[in-house]
Chains A and B, each alone.
Chain A
Amino acid sequence: MDRIGQAFRTARAEGRAALIPYVTAGYPTLEQLPGLVRSLTRAGADVIEIGIPFSDPLADGPILQRAATEALAAGTRVRDVLRVVSQISTEAPPLVFLTYINPVFRYGIEEFARDSAQAGVAGWIIPDLPWLESRAVRDTAQQYGIALIPLAAPTSTDQHLKAIAHGHGFVYGVSVTGVTGVRDAVDTGVETLVARVKNFVDLPVAVGFGISTPAQAREVGRVADGVIVGSALVKTIADHRDACEEAAYQFVRGLREALDNLSAKA
């Protein structure tokens, strides 16, 4: 069961933050997903987020919007993503789906939980499903051994942080008020955010939204249990479409080394 927790414990035992890269399924093509996941695994990812593209991704910035639009234009279907993921999950670190509530709702919450579990998926992140609305979804997911990952934002109240203490997997700390994207600097509020979450919640806290470089990963890795990198990786893939597996490997390897160095220095 708790594969996600195990991944964080392993990283911690090695004295570093867990590394969580994100890729959009179907971008550049769905056929390339297994190769990309193998690259990320080889490069040292501890958990991998796989985005199921949605037509109206309102929590995403331009890079992930474009990836989703292209993936959908190429005909990426939810069922096909599940099929491809089921072929790779046994040889990968814990896989977590990132998608929006409407594709899940439309598929059927129970059916999507069942098929995700069968595909070997360990968790779901649904950025437009706030904790207050998530009761039915998280109970159903839980029945199938899937963790609905709670999110905590800079604006979140103590009351929210108390509520998500009952969550599973890890807490996704949203580093900024904003959408996903590549940013020049880590928001100064990250340390406070992590400390506030830890005050209420025993789960590991991974921070994402805007983390783009090894230096930023190191900075966040100092205060958080995990570092999530999405847009910067997808941009790397976009910039090297014909050799994206190797480019993704190099990029994620660089992030992982930054986190390893942190443990060496500490």
Chain B
Amino acid sequence: MATKRVPDQRGRFGPFGGRYVPETLMPALDELSRQYGDARRDPEFRRELELLLKDYVGRPTPLRRADQMSQALGLDVFLKREDLNHTGAHKINNTVGQVLLARRMGKTRIIAETGAGQHGVATATAAALFGLKAEIYMGSEDVRRQALNVYRMKLLGAQVHPVESGTRTLKDATNEAIRDWVTNVRDTFYVIGSVVGPHPYPMMVRDFQSVIGKEARRQILKVSGHMPSHIVASVGGGSNSMGIFYPFRHDPVQLIGVEAAGEGVETGRHAASIQVAEPGILHGSLSYLLQDADGQIQPAHSISAGLDYPGVGPEHAYLHHTGRAQYVAIRDDQALRAFHQLSEWEGIIPALESAHAVAWVIEQAGRLQAEGGRVLINLSGRGDKDVDQVFQYESEKGVGRHG
């Protein structure tokens, strides 16, 4: 089960990862690697980050047995409550870390990409905390769909740039953020929102998110006296899942990443790049991508905006490749059912992203029960942001339990 220490010096996770960016950015990535390496060894930086995570973000987040869900499914289910973080999701663990690093590097301007706006809000929040200016790129289609998050970012003092190119969604916002970075590389820090991008980002975001798994490992041993048998987390770019998986990588625990199957993998309308497992290069690294026969990137589809991305972090491609983690997929309708079920069982409205992880456990309950499962779910975010969308969706389809 032991895995090699990854990434290597060149940012490779086995065959995946690397740095595929314009030459202009290569010195900036070298500098970032150097500065990040210094920072993570600097006790002062670590102390400051720890304090912020505690007093500002609200860590450690609780881990607790989900009693009703456990009873209903006939197995032990534990929830790691990343939804209780400031701003309502795990995203802030990473943005506080990166913005702290940006300040240390003397960068005066922060940029980020965002899909639904969760990472944009988390970046705007961290930038406000440090009095830095943030500019957020967001596809114009997402700006339209997520008007409230756009307003939140503005409230926090950030400027939001709608992106009109390509499919006008997250991948295009990421292109535009990279274009901005190439242009303003000397004074600008690019805060990437998941374990994607060129080296050192996948490693750095993993490290910042690993606080989830470190806490969870300690907590579950304390609460239950055992290691979990399975850890289940949703996979968009892959940061909440990598954050909880990584500290358990040497333990005898099955790691399950849940991708978005959208309307069904067989329909082609999905965001499950590992299910398809076609290698390709986008946004700075080699990983698995949704693409056509010519290598043109294909749009992703998911009811959950945070999973709606045509790629996945290179370390997940590696964990799939080595077999250390298993990747599965959950459809929109299954995630929606889990959204309701968890709300009713536990009084916790999960983010639609997190609902994918919950749904997989519900679907597989029989098997997990037979294996004597003790399942730990990473509840990556809260569903308040999704309530409006789910309401609309169910009104249109004439389904659901309201009304």
Contacts and interface: CB of A to CB of B under 8 A. Distances in A.
Interface in A43-67: 54-59, 61-62, 65
B356 interface: no
A228 to B, nearest CB: 15
B175 interface: yes
A177 B23 CA distance: 10
Contacts of A151: 22-23
Contact of B185 (A58, A105, A152, A155): A155
B165 A69 contact: yes
B376 to A, nearest CB: 36
Given A55-B166, A56-B175, A127-B22, A105 B281 contact: yes
B183 A179 contact: yes
A59 B296 contact: no
A106 B22 contact: no
A102 interface: yes
Contacts of B18: 133
B282 interface: yes
B295 interface: yes
Given A56-B282, A105-B281, A133-B18, A156 B182 contact: no
Contacts of A7: none
A179 B283 CA distance: 15
A197 to B, nearest CB: 12
Interface in A80-122: 101-107
Interface in A126-162: 127-133, 151-157, 160
Contacts of B282: 56, 102
Interface string B271-295: 0000000011111101001010111
B24 interface: yes
B34 interface: no
B288 to A, nearest CB: 12
Contacts of A58: 22, 175, 178-179, 182, 283
Contacts of A223: none
A156 B183 contact: no
B295 A153 contact: no
B294 to A, nearest CB: 5
Given A62-B165, A102-B281, A103-B296, A157 B27 contact: yes
Interface in B187-207: none
Given A58-B178, A178-B183, A103 B295 contact: yes
B294 A56 contact: no
A156 B295 contact: no
A177 B26 contact: no
A209 to B, nearest CB: 10
B20 A106 contact: no
Given A55-B166, A155-B185, A177-B182, A103 B294 contact: yes
Contacts of A106: 280, 291, 293-295
Given A101-B281, A177-B182, A179-B183, A59 B294 contact: no
Contacts of B24: 153-156, 174, 177-178
B294 A77 contact: yes
Nearest to A179: B179
A65 B295 contact: no
Given A102-B281, A105-B295, A179 B182 contact: yes
Interface string B125-164: 0000000000000000000000000000000000000000
Contact of B23 (A55, A153, A178): A153
Contact of A156 (B27, B184, B281): B27
Contacts of B186: 155, 177
Contact of B19 (A54, A103, A130, A177): A130
B21 interface: yes
B112 to A, nearest CB: 16
B297 interface: yes
B319 interface: no
B105 interface: no
A69 B182 CA distance: 21
A165 interface: no
A59 B182 contact: yes
B336 interface: no
A102 B279 CA distance: 9
B316 interface: no
Contact of B21 (A78, A128, A156, A179): A128
Contacts of B265: none
A69 B166 contact: yes
B171 interface: yes
Contacts of A157: 27
A72 interface: yes
Contacts of B283: 56, 58
Central interface residue in A54, A57, A65, A174, by most chain B CB within 10 Å: A65
Contacts of A160: 23, 26-27
A95 B291 CA distance: 27
A174 B185 CA distance: 14
B136 to A, nearest CB: 17
Sorted nearest first, the 10 A-B pairs with minimum C-beta distance are A106-B295, A153-B24, A103-B295, A178-B183, A55-B296, A102-B295, A151-B23, A58-B175, A55-B297, A153-B23
9 contacts: A56-B171, A56-B297, A59-B22, A105-B295, A128-B22, A130-B21, A155-B23, A156-B26, A160-B27
Given A107-B294, A179-B182, 15 more contacts: A55-B166, A56-B175, A56-B282, A69-B166, A101-B281, A106-B294, A128-B21, A128-B284, A130-B21, A133-B18, A155-B28, A156-B23, A177-B185, A178-B183, A179-B183
